[in-house]
Every structure is written in C-alpha cells, then in structure tokens.
Structure 1
C-alpha cells in the first residue's frame, strides 16, 4: 500500500451549516471610491478564540555534516486529488505560541525534536479566497541529539504522511524533479525555492 494509491471517489456540494472545519461567507464593503460591493470567501471554524493566528508551517532544517537538508512531506490532499509536497504544518492549540505549535507538530508528524529559531510575520495563504493564515516557523533539528536518531511519527487516525529530506543547496532543482515525477507543490514550498533562486541570482 502506497500513499499514491489514495484517490477521490466523489465530490459533492456542501452547505456551510453542514461543514465542520470551514464556512462560506459574504462580506459587504465599500471600495476606495465609496461604491458598495460584496465578496464571497471561505473561513476556518478552528481558530483558537482570542487568537489572530490559525496555525504554522514549519521550515525544518536537519543539520548534517554534508550540509543542511530541508525536511519535506508527501501527503495526499483530497481537494487537489493528488500527492502534495509540503512542509510539516499544523493548527494552533489554546494557550500555545507559534513556536510551541511548530515544535509540537514537528514531533507529532515526523518524530523529530527541533528548536524554533525564527518566525515570519502572519501571512495569509490566499487572501482573495479565504482568511486562513499562518506563521512560517524555522526550526533546526540537531542530529547529534540521541532522541533524533530513530524518529517515530505520532500520527492521528486518518493521517498518512511520508517524510523525506532534500539538500538545501539543491532545493529548487529537487522540487522541479518532483513535479516532473507527478507530484503537486504546496505554494509555501515553491516560494522558498523561488527565494533561493533570487538569492543565487543576486549573490545574496
């Protein structure tokens, strides 16, 4: 059995009142000229009360003697009916910081114990369509830590995640090879690759 064996069987329309995780809303607003307009959008129903943050993406770096490697995941995503290459990620728990969330989700999804060392500002994933947001948290994984010698995932029922790494210096090229092999890229992963390409071009 392989993660690539998963497939969508049926797609049905769903009313907001029947959904557990998201809802469809309409916002009424005035444009810069004062004209009344409206806009349809999707929103999460899972954001912790009192928080302005939904969750985190995790840019996890394994510190290897041969050079840093980026931890990636293969995961079947029903909305796109395919296996997506993405960063570990997860939703914020109550009374949890973005950094704590990243370290917890990293352990659960990959088995690795890491240390958060930087976080992005809050970023919105697709603001023309939904209000979902996240912080991209950078985490280092010390492979000299004996707890990271044989990492074991702590997945929930229904989670099927395959972890793998690629060298940071070859990141854009490895993503291109994965696309050629039929995988789908999460935008956050591709954005990091684009940043590396720009940094190379301008010798940053």
Structure 2
C-alpha cells in the first residue's frame, strides 16, 4: 500500500463556485439579536442526499474478542493524507451518506469498505447513534452522526480483513488501546500527524472520565 505520508501538494489556486463539485462558498446576510444587519462567509456541502439530515457518519469501532474477555478493547483508527491541511491525519473510519441510507447502514458499509472489518452497531439502542454534530459551524454546514460499533474478532470474516478502497483512497488502518487514546494522540502529534476532531474529542472524553473518575 502506498504510504499516505508520501503525498504532496503541487499547487493551490482559487476555485470558482461554478467549477466546484463538492462544496460552495456563500455569503449569508442576517440580523443579530439587536437587529443589526450583518454578513457571514461560509462554505456549504452540495452532496447531502435529499431527505437526509446529515452529510455523513463517523464510526467509533471497537475491536473485541469474546474468547478473550480480559483483553483491552482497541479502537480502529486510520492514517489518511488530507490536502486541506497538507498532513496525514489520524481519523476514525467515516464516509458520506448514500441516498435512502440510514446512518447505521452507512457506518457498517463504510467500515467494511475502508477497513475490511465487518461490524455490528452496539446492542444498547440508547448509545447506537450520536446527536447530530458540526465540526466547524462557524465556517461550514457539514454535519454527521457518530455511530458506535463493535467488531467481533472471532468471526471468520474478521480474521484477515481486506479493505475495498477506491482508486483515489490511500488509507492505513490500525488500532490502539481505547484507554490510551489520549496519550496516543499526543504521541502522533509529536510525530507530525494531524488529529481529526472526532478522534481528539473521543480521546479527551475518555481522559476526562478517567481523571474525574466518572466510570
């Protein structure tokens, strides 16, 4: 597999909205709480399926082996070079919604395509799907739901997972102990990687729960 760290930017240039395939740049005029008229510049995705309330999903996929109940649960992560930040980013599996697709179905499909693993949405219905989240609401309307998934390593199809990547996808899949995610994020940053907000937020939540003894 080609390493995502070998990618490089050749040039950057302005892009006219009429030439954009995935997003547009817009100016919104609005009134503030005191009635003053103001404007705001932002970006909008153009790929959200009709009838869907989200653009895509992120997948928090936990590796577990029922035959080894004492093993530490591990979370699936990925390394993927991203042109907007000119860096290889530590991410969770993720992807855009297809038409007439549920978030849960999208998550299982994307996990299989990007990592080769066959997963299942967690049994607890109150924790299967997160509220809608916005990564950068001051700049873009892009949103998603996090889907919580387990991967049973004892299943035959998970013994030697093979991703089904598209020709323009160069993704390296790996896993780390869930309890060490905060320390791993610090280590990755020191190595020159960028940290996706979803990974960083998961890590921070785990660390907060540990330090304030919430569980």
Q: TM-score range by the shorter chain?
A: over 0.9
Give me the whole-angstrom Cα distance separating, in 1, the residues matched to 2:103 and 2:138: 24
- Partner residue, 2:141: 131
Partner SS, residue 119 of structure 1: coil
- Partner residue, 2:193: 183
Give me the whole-angstrom Cα distance separating, in 2, the residues matched to 1:100 and 1:2: 29
Give me the whole-angstrom Cα distance separating, in 1, the residues matched to 2:3 and 2:137: 34
The answer on 1:163 being equivalent to 2:164 is no
The answer on 1:75 being equivalent to 2:77 is no
1:2 shift after superposition: 2.4
Give me the whole-angstrom Cα distance separating, in 1, the residues matched to 2:131 and 2:4: 33
Aligned residue pairs: how many?
204
TM-score by length of 2: 0.93
Partner SS, residue 95 of structure 2: strand
- Partner residue, 1:7: 8
Aligned residue runs from structure 1 range 104-143, under 5 A: 104-117=109-122, 118-143=128-153
Unmatched 5+ residue regions in structure 1? none
1:130 shift after superposition: 0.4
Unmatched 5+ residue regions in structure 2? 123-127
- Partner residue, 2:211: 201
- Partner residue, 1:16: 17
2:97–2:103 CA contact under 8 A, matched in 1: yes
Structure 1 vs Structure 2 CA RMSD: 0.9
- Partner residue, 1:92: 97
Worse overlay, 6-15 or 57-66: 57-66
TM-score by length of 1: 0.98
List structure 1 runs of 4+ shifted beyond 3 angstroms.
Answer: none
Partner SS, residue 160 of structure 2: coil
Give me the whole-angstrom Cα distance separating, in 1, the residues matched to 2:4 and 2:97: 26
